[in-house]
Amino acid sequence: MKLEHIGIAVKSLGVSDELFAKLLGKESYKKESVEREGVVTSFYAAGESKIELLEASKEESPISKFIDKKGEGIHHLAFGVDNILQEVERLKKEGFEFISEEPKEGADNKLIVFLHPKCTNGVLVELCQEKQ
Ligand SMILES: C[C@@H](C(=O)O)C(=O)SCCNC(=O)CCNC(=O)[C@H](O)C(C)(C)COP(=O)(O)OP(=O)(O)OC[C@H]1O[C@@H](n2cnc3c(N)ncnc32)[C@H](O)[C@@H]1OP(=O)(O)O
Ligand SMILES: [Co+2]
């Protein structure tokens, strides 16, 4: 598995896009709304991985809930895999628990699933596979 992106929960994409553009010395290469997840995302290239800024797009968004509880900050790690269904099966056998086992459409042309943070040392983990 490769670290594909790090998701960071932010209150305002406007404010944080300016901050991260300054920090990384380059503009976001893509902004995309993923309504099913209740997020608007903004992506930055960072070597072989990416930074995904996440702003809530509705009140019931996991991002609003996270920010209310913990404040802004690192929300999840996403690992890129070649075959997401195979990885789900492999990790289930290893005893990991998924929030939902059915891959769904994420941002950036990916299929995604999430493991529950309670089975991964409190870190929310996403698996993602490039859509064919
Ligand atoms: C666009 C896409 C992409 O890249 O393509 C994305 O990334 S979308 C990224 C946004 N989408 C998602 O995050 C979808 C997956 N996330 C979820 O389904 C949810 O956020 C859960 C992780 C199941 C948490 O939801 P729930 O309603 O249970 O919230 P809750 O506040 O009661 O949290 C239950 C427990 O999980 C912990 N918890 C919640 N969010 C967490 C996070 N991001 N990292 C680590 N721990 C987290 C809480 O502190 C709490 O722990 P205690 O019990 O110890 O207090
Ligand atoms: Co993500």
* Average pLDDT along the chain, 132 residues, taken 10 residues at a time: 97 98 97 96 97 96 97 98 98 97 95 97 98 87
- Contact between 97 and 115 (Cβ < 8 Å): yes
Residue 132: its pLDDT value, please? 81
Max CA-CA distance within the chain? Answer: 43
Domains in the chain: how many in total?
Answer: 1
Tokens standing for residue 44: 């930055």
Which residue type does 79 have? F
Domain of residue 44 covers: 2-130
Ligand 1 surroundings by CB, under 6 angstroms: 7, 34, 37, 39, 41, 52, 54, 62, 65-66, 69, 75-76, 78, 99, 106-107, 110, 112, 114, 117, 122, 124, 126
Helix (H) or strand (E) holding 64: helix 62-70
- Contact between 107 and 51 (Cβ < 8 Å): no
Alpha carbon distance 32, 24 (integer Å):
19
Burial label, 126 (beta-carbon count in 10 A; 0-12, 13-18, 19+): buried
Question: Residue 64: which CATH number?
Answer: 3.10.180.10
Q: Whose CA is nearest to atom 13 of ligand 1?
A: 62
Residue 71: its pLDDT value, please? 98
Query: Torsion angle of alpha carbons 101, 85, 81, 46, nearest 10°?
Result: -40
**Probe residue for ligand 1, chosen from 5, 6, 35, 65 as the CB with the greatest number of ligand atoms within 8 Å:** 65
State which ligand 1 atom lies nearest to the alpha carbon of 126: 7
